[in-house]
């Protein structure tokens, strides 16, 4: 974990100040997520929706289907997307039916990297996208945006210095912080997270004390409905992730909950700037996807 006072590079300090300025103004002020318990959990946002609208008791709850196993991979002899077949077992699906590859290594399987074809628009998905089950949660991997390595202690590295690389890094870092074993979460916190302000240590301690079972993770973490890079400046990216709400909420017109990430490019990689202040959770509820969202993730 890196604290604000530890950053000596002037450009990094300048970037962090810009993030603070952005957080003080809409749309970032109310949408930025707390680095606390189950920050990516749709079930938590659904509870907020029920409390605000009063529909929890009035509307029958619809149970979510369990993960369903699907047919084994049937690749050309020897490889699938450049990865030897023994690196993966039979795929499964998330609770919304999206295909999830299941790597033999619980940390995930990096993919061979190639240069993207031309300059991609910030709204475009990364090339060679694959969702893998990492400690029970779906995590994105790409052949053009990384990661290209995962350390023995579970830290992903080698994200592309592009909007797509930032979007993948945001989801990789945050999901692993919640789902990975706590010793790996600590390593990820130290290598990939920046926490500023007087509540930094308390926020870090809360995150590292979080324990979620793999069965709970499978329920809490679906593949995102859509992803948006709403601001990209090379050394800074603001990434938004929309998670589909349960059918009961969608019947009330709320289609998704939105989670926001600020990232900075520092020390040759993307790092998540984890907020410590309060946020308006109701501002995360979405009734429509506006311009710039990609549903091709």
- pLDDT confidence of residue 240: 96
pLDDT, residue 213, reads 84
Q: For residues 270 and 232, what is the distance between their CA atoms, to the nearest angstrom?
A: 12
Domain boundaries, given as residue ranges, for the chain? 2-286
Higher pLDDT among residues 131 and 284, named by residue: 131
Summarize the confidence of residues 130-134 as an average pLDDT: 97
Q: What per-residue confidence (pLDDT) applies to 7? A: 47
Strand 285-286 to 256-266 pairing: antiparallel
Strand locations in the chain (E): 2-3, 79-80, 83-84, 92-93, 99-100, 130-134, 137-141, 149-150, 156-157, 193-195, 226-232, 236-244, 256-266, 269-274, 285-286
Q: Quote the percentage of the chain above a pLDDT of 90.
A: 51
Question: Which tokens is 228 given?
Answer: 């948006």
Question: Residue 257 forms beta bridges with which residues?
Answer: 243, 285
| Burial class of residue 215, CB neighbours in 10 A (0-12, 13-18, 19+) | exposed
Are 127 and 143 in contact, with CB atoms under 8 Å apart? yes
Residue found under tokens 């990689």: 269
Q: Report yes or no: 147 and 157 within 8 Å, Cβ to Cβ.
A: yes
Contact 296, 44 (CB under 8 A): no
Mean pLDDT of 105-113: 96
pLDDT at 275: 81
Query: If you write DSSP's letter for every residue of 35-83 in order, what string do you get?
Result: SSTTTT-HHHHHHHHHHHH--TTTS---PPPPP---PPP-PSTTEETTE
User: Model-level pTM?
Assistant: 0.75
* Token pair for 30: 């109310």
Interior angle at CA 101, CA 95 and CA 104, nearest 5: 125
Q: Is the pLDDT of residue 107 over 50?
A: yes
At residue 126 the predicted structure's pLDDT band, cuts being 50, 70 and 90, is very high
- Model confidence over 147-180: pLDDT tens digits? 999 999 999 999 999 999 999 999 999 999 999 9
Is 144 within 8 Å of 114 (Cβ atoms)? yes
């Amino acid at each position: 974990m890196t604290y604000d006072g530890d950053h000596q590079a002037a450009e990094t300090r300048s970037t962090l100040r810009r993030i603070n300025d952005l957080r003080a103004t809409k749309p970032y002020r109310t949408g930025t997520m707390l680095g606390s318990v189950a920050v990516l959990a749709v079930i938590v946002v659904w509870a907020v929706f029920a409390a605000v609208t009063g529909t929890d008791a009035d509307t029958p709850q619809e149970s979510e289907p369990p993960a369903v196993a699907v047919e084994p991979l049937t690749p050309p002899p020897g490889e699938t997307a450049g990865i030897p077949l023994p690196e993966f077992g039979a795929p499964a699906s998330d609770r919304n039916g999206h295909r999830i590859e299941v790597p033999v290594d619980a940390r995930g399987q990096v993919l061979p990297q190639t240069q993207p074809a031309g300059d991609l628009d910030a709204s475009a998905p990364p090339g060679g996208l694959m969702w893998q089950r990492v400690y029970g949660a779906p995590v994105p991997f790409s052949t053009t945006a990384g990661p290209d390595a995962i350390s023995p202690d579970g830290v992903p590295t080698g994200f592309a210095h592009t909007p797509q690389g930032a979007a993948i890094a945001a989801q990789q870092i945050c999901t692993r912080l919640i789902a990975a074993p706590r010793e790996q979460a600590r390593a990820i916190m130290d290598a990939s997270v920046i926490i500023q302000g007087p509540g930094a240590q308390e926020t870090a301690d809360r995150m590292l004390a979080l324990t979620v079972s793999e069965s709970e993770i499978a329920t809490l973490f679906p593949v995102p409905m859509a992803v948006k890079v709403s601001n990209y400046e090379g050394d800074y990216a603001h990434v938004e992730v929309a998670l589909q709400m349960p059918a009961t909420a969608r019947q009330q017109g709320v289609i998704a909950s939105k989670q926001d990430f600020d990232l900075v490019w520092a020390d040759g990689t993307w790092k998540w700037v984890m907020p410590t202040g309060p946020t308006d959770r109701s501002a995360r509820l979405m009734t429509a996807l506006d311009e710039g969202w990609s549903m091709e993730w």
